[in-house]
Amino acid sequence: MQRFDVVSAARNWRFDGLPTPTPSDVVGEVFASDVLTLEELRQQLSKPAWKSLQATIQRGTAIDPAIADTVALAMKTWAMDKGATHYSHWFQPLTGATAEKHESFVAPTQNGNAISHFSGSELIQGEPDASSFPSGGLRQTFEARGYTAWDPTSPAFIVRHPNGATLCIPTAFASFTGEALDLKTPLLRSIHAVSAAAMKALTMFDIPQASKVVSTVGVEQEFFLIDEEFAMRRPDLLMTGRTLFGARPPRGQELEDHYFGSIPTRILTYLTDVEHQLYALGIPVKTRHNEVAPGQYEIAPMFEEANIAADHQQLTMQVLRNTARTYGLMCLTHEKPFAGINGSGKHVNWSIATDAGMNLLEPGETPRENMVFLFFCCAVLRAVDRHQDLLRACVASASNDHRLGANEAPPAIMSIFLGDELTQVFSQVVSGSTTAKRASGLLGLGTPVLPPLPLHSGDRNRTSPFAFTGNKFEFRAVGSDQSVSFPITVLNTIVAEAIDDLRMDVEAKMKKKKTFEAALHDALREAYTQHERIVFNGDGYSEEWQQEAERRGLLRLPTSLDAYDRLLDEKNVAVFERFSVLSKRELEARHEIFLDQYFKKVNIEGETAEWLAQTQILPSVLASMNQAVQVQSVGSRGVQHRIETLQVLFDEFYEALEVLRSRNMDLGGETLHSKSLHMRDRVLPALQALRRSTDRLERVCSYETWPLPGYREMLFVK
Ligand code: ADP
Ligand code: MG
């Protein structure tokens, strides 16, 4: 009765002996306690050394090697006080995960003792054996070396395990020829690009002085939690992150009782632990709630500067996954772990602000008169319309393909939700009307005991892949398992281009003796008229939108492979090169790695499904048949019917398995392109067909011998 053991293991889960942090500890002592904050560093450094480091951090000047030793010593002292025995350059290779190689602080001396050691050169530059990271051809094997370079703009932090700790130093990862082999380097370049473009544009406006513009990012992370006892018995989850089989249970998410429901105690205990660790890492987690699907949850932090937000996002995923084990859970960050219910996304909230604290996408009380807002918002419209393909490509992955366009997820067509009020404001800009009317007032709730609520102009639309939400844009097509770095890199770069172009439009008109106001107005009118087609406030999940989008000439790139092919289009190479974010070679390398990852991921799914079907499902079906055959002599009509039903389903299943087996044998040719197409057009459909017949069998075969925990257990036993 193995199955029931599994369920009872989950049911009997208990956890004793948890530390209970008090709220004042969290605020006073815990928050950022494992982060080497700037304040901490300042205290440890001499004045000149601090000044020099500050210039590096704030203005991006190169680090002065002369102060590197001092900074390294300060870091080592701080880290060892915190219990760290090792340090690691922490970087983000193109796999989308993070990488670390630990080095001990301990160094032996000649007299047989040991001292602790960490030099400036070790801080500034490391050389992991990089030959096994994907480079997309950027690194020939004969010059396989890659190096990591300290990113002083993101603070170092401590990662703990039960009997030790490691100092992690955020670094960029590049080849010796200077080409970016990671996700951080282009992100940093794009942050610079959008800052420079926005600063130039801001000189046209009369606003408070600023020395730079930062992109701000807050990321909502969705994920599933299931009992580890189930997960461990699902080879598909362990190998691919998603269930390749599993019949839909009688109940899914249709009762809509999970969303924002009370959080189960075990989950809340786990989340509290996760949050506590994230606080120590200085990650400002703010909200937590149940998501729509059973077993699905979300946490989100306060927004931060893009580079730090991206590092923090990786750490958040890491802590979510690592902590789950302590609670007998497994955290699934895959975009579509379960068929038939919602998948998981990662909503990337994004804006740009001056370092003086002015959010450039804040419409204020009267957006019609807010020229700064209209200018930057219009630039975003232009950027998204022009580069729909890039935005689609930067969220593309084999796993996100299952989500985009499926249950309650944004379609694979890019559009912007602006909301009625702002759409009206832009229409007024086009028509030249100046009645700046704001619809909002107070919303009465019809009973005197409740206070009147302000009527929110930024009404919500959950179906848009890219929505304006009050004072920021929310990019919702990003997948839950992805690094946010490339999506933010794309966003920053294409917006930098649009800002620059819009500014040049205005300047050209001013040269023709127009006043600034008139020139700006004309430029906005032209840009909005040209890009209005990208604005869509309706239901993005509807069938009508697909047709409407086609009428408007918007791009529809249903699968990742359609999107990847666009990466190397001339206009896309041009925009990355113009802002020195990615060279053509670097972009080609990414294109190659994306294809390679796609191919490998689907290949692994195909192999896993075949193996599982052959060694676990097939024997289990035979056992069910055998059970029936053994009582055939009873002569019951029911028994006969069961045998026949099983026979039909089994043959169907077996045929599907044979098809998948033969397609798995074939890798689809020589090029990455043909191999990926083979995976998409041959392996995935065969996998899908095998799944359909397996899921039918699951509903018929004996529960006791079925080898895999089912959806109804995984999603509902908490
Ligand atoms: P929602 O209503 O979409 O659930 P919230 O308004 O609570 O969301 O914000 C979601 C995320 O957006 C949070 O991480 C928040 O910090 C972030 N956010 C808010 N303002 C900005 C901004 N100006 N730039 C970037 N992110 C922001
Ligand atoms: Mg949101």
CA angle 637, 641, 643 (to 5 degrees): 120
* Residue 243 alpha carbon to ligand 2 centre in Å: 27
pLDDT of the residue at 1: 44
Both tokens assigned to 522 = 């004309």
Is residue 435 pLDDT above 80, yes or no?
no
The average pLDDT across 79-94 equals: 94
* Residue 220 alpha carbon to ligand 2 centre in Å: 7
Band of residue 542 on the pLDDT scale cut at 50, 70, 90: confident
Percent of the chain whose predicted confidence (pLDDT) is above 70? 91
pLDDT of the residue at 421: 87
Is residue 439 pLDDT above 50, yes or no?
no
Q: Which numbered atom of ligand 1 lies nearest the CA of 300?
A: 14
Which of 288, 359, 468, 472 has most ligand 1 atoms within 8 Å of CB, for mutation? 472
> What residue ranges line ligand 1, CB within 6 angstroms?
216-218, 220, 300-303, 349-351, 359, 469, 471-472, 474
DSSP per-residue codes, 306-362: HHHHHHHHHHHHHHHHHHHGGGTEEEE--S-SSTTS---BEEEEEEEEETTS-BTT-
Name the H helices within 613-683.
618-630, 637-665, 672-678
* Residue 494 alpha carbon to ligand 2 centre in Å: 22
Query: What ligand has the least distance to the C-alpha of 476?
Result: 2
Of 158 and 208, more confident: 158
Q: How confident is the model over 295-337, as pLDDT tens digits? A: 999 999 999 999 999 999 999 999 999 999 989 999 999 999 9
Q: How many CA atoms lie within 13 A of 597 on its CB side?
A: 23
What is the residue whose two structure tokens read 């200018």?
Answer: 375
User: Around ion ligand 2, which residues have CB less than 5 A away?
Assistant: 347
pLDDT of the residue at 259: 75
Average pLDDT in the chain: 90
* Residue 217 alpha carbon to ligand 1 centre in Å: 8
pLDDT of the residue at 582: 97
Is residue 228 pLDDT above 80, yes or no?
yes
pLDDT of the residue at 406: 67
pLDDT of the residue at 391: 97
Q: Which numbered atom of ligand 1 lies nearest the CA of 460?
A: 2
Query: What ligand has the least distance to the C-alpha of 289?
Result: 1
Backbone angles phi, psi at 647, to 5 degrees: -60, -50
CA angle 145, 151, 157 (to 5 degrees): 110
Q: Which of 26-30, 242-246, 444-448, 478-482 has the lowest mean pLDDT?
A: 444-448
The average pLDDT across 225-241 equals: 94
User: How far, CA to CA in Å, does 502 sit from each of 168, 177, 370, 466?
Assistant: 41, 35, 16, 21
Q: How confident is the model over 679-698, as pLDDT tens digits? A: 999 999 999 999 999 999 99
Is residue 505 pLDDT above 60, yes or no?
yes
Domains recognised in the chain with CATH numbers? 31-175 (3.10.20.70), 191-242+255-582 (3.30.590.10), 596-716 (1.20.120.1560)
* Residue 347 alpha carbon to ligand 2 centre in Å: 6
Of 459 and 133, more confident: 133
Is residue 243 pLDDT above 90, yes or no?
yes
What is the residue whose two structure tokens read 């055959």?
Answer: 629
Is residue 588 pLDDT above 50, yes or no?
yes
Q: How confident is the model over 602-650, as pLDDT tens digits? A: 999 999 999 999 999 999 999 999 999 999 999 899 999 999 999 999 9
Is residue 561 pLDDT above 50, yes or no?
yes
Q: How confident is the model over 19-75, as pLDDT tens digits? A: 666 777 777 789 999 999 888 888 888 899 899 888 887 776 777 888 889 999 999
Q: Are strands 466-468 and 473-475 parallel, antiparallel or unpaired?
A: antiparallel
Is residue 556 pLDDT above 60, yes or no?
yes
pLDDT of the residue at 61: 74
Q: Which numbered atom of ligand 1 lies nearest the CA of 220?
A: 14
Is residue 95 pLDDT above 70, yes or no?
yes
Of 139 and 582, more confident: 582
* Residue 298 alpha carbon to ligand 1 centre in Å: 14
Q: How confident is the model over 149-170, as pLDDT tens digits? A: 889 889 999 999 989 999 999 9
Is residue 536 pLDDT above 50, yes or no?
yes
Query: What ligand has the least distance to the C-alpha of 306?
Result: 1
* Residue 470 alpha carbon to ligand 2 centre in Å: 11
The average pLDDT across 429-437 equals: 71
Band of residue 405 on the pLDDT scale cut at 50, 70, 90: confident
DSSP per-residue codes, 527-585: HHHHHGGGB--S-TTSHHHHHHHHHHT-----SHHHHHTTTTSHHHHHHHHHTTSS-HH
Indicate the helix (H) or strand (E) that contains 224: strand 213-227
The long-range contacts involving 230-233, CB below 8 angstroms and separated by at least 24 positions, are 230/6, 230/10, 230/709, 230/713, 230/714, 230/717, 231/330, 231/332, 231/714, 232/330, 233/6, 233/707, 233/708, 233/709
Indicate the helix (H) or strand (E) that contains 705: none
Percent of the chain whose predicted confidence (pLDDT) is above 90? 68
Which among 175, 169, 170, 153 is positioned nearest to 75, based on CA atoms? 169
pLDDT of the residue at 290: 87
Question: For ligand 1, atom 1, which residue shows the shortest CA distance?
Answer: 469
